[in-house]
Amino acid sequence: MSNRQGRNDRHDMPITPSAFEAVPIVVHQRKIALDRVILGAAAVSVLLFLSLPILVVVPMSFSSASALQFPPPGLSLRWYAAFFTDPRWIDDLWTSLEVAVAASTLALLLGGSAAYGLVRGRFAGRLVIEANFIVPIVVPSIITALALYLVFARTGLLGTLPALIIGHMVLGVPVVVLVMTVAFRSFDVRLEQVAFTLGASTRVMLWRVLLPNVLPSIGAAWIFAFITSFDEVIVTTFISGTYETVPKRMFNELALQINPTITAIASLLTGISIFLLVVSALLMRFGERAKSGSD
């Protein structure tokens, strides 16, 4: 009799509202988990799709075959040796490095100065000028190349090394402006004001206060500009004249014949780009940690 009464008492216990409120929470959490799984799967799929050319080209660069063949019948370094022993490719490599270093350095100076003026300045048309700096990224490269071709043809610089450096600098400035704008906006302007209050000149404030704090971003911006210049082929084809860079010669070689040496060069360029991107990411992370530590 007492057991039956106990069961009836349990059935008669009222169900609290919290029991009903917990159900939607559980469903919402499961939905969030499912969305994360779907998003992760989509991201991995896109990454694999973008990596397919690399997964094909890199193994072919170590092929022992005399023509392009995938999968390679054997492993060999013959195409890397062909690249490093060919004086034409070495000359083109030095030209690419020379142009990329000069263009990225000039882009850093001009783009960094412009970014600081856009962030700290208060003048009419600032947003329009900032958008104008981003135009070379939005506009197709063929249009930028044609515009530079016409300008250099009128000024007599077409086909010269300074024209090639200036052209690559134009492509690198927007990248620098994007990176340095974020860096300057995240830097506390009150530190600059305190430096001026203590009697520091503009030069001292820049060298002692501002630049040391945004140095990782400066390094990352230079690396991005360097990669942009080193991999450029369309603008180079229009304005370089007789000057040959590695990407330009690769394009010309592919137009004439399919040389397996191209796969070795493409693998080297890919490896260099990935390495520099990793370095820039580490610099950005170091800058964020330094800023959080100072806060």
Query: Please, are residues 112 and 180 in contact by the beta-carbon 8 Å criterion?
Result: yes
Residue 205 has pLDDT above 70, yes or no: yes
Better-scored residue on pLDDT, 23 or 75: 75
Which pTM does this prediction carry? 0.76
Amino acid (1-letter code) at residue 214? V
State the pLDDT confidence band at 106, using cuts at 50, 70 and 90: very high
Q: Tell me which residue of 232, 255, 257, 262 sits closest to 245, measured CA to CA.
A: 232
Query: Please, are residues 233 and 251 in contact by the beta-carbon 8 Å criterion?
Result: yes
pLDDT at 293: 54
User: Average of pLDDT values for 53-80?
Assistant: 76
pLDDT at 28: 62
pLDDT at 103: 93
Residue 174 has pLDDT above 80, yes or no: yes
State the pLDDT confidence band at 26, using cuts at 50, 70 and 90: low
User: Average of pLDDT values for 1-15?
Assistant: 50
Residue 43, CB-side half-sphere exposure with 13 Å CA sphere: 6
Better-scored residue on pLDDT, 284 or 116: 116
Residue 16 has pLDDT above 60, yes or no: no
pLDDT at 292: 59
pLDDT at 251: 81
User: Average of pLDDT values for 74-103?
Assistant: 86
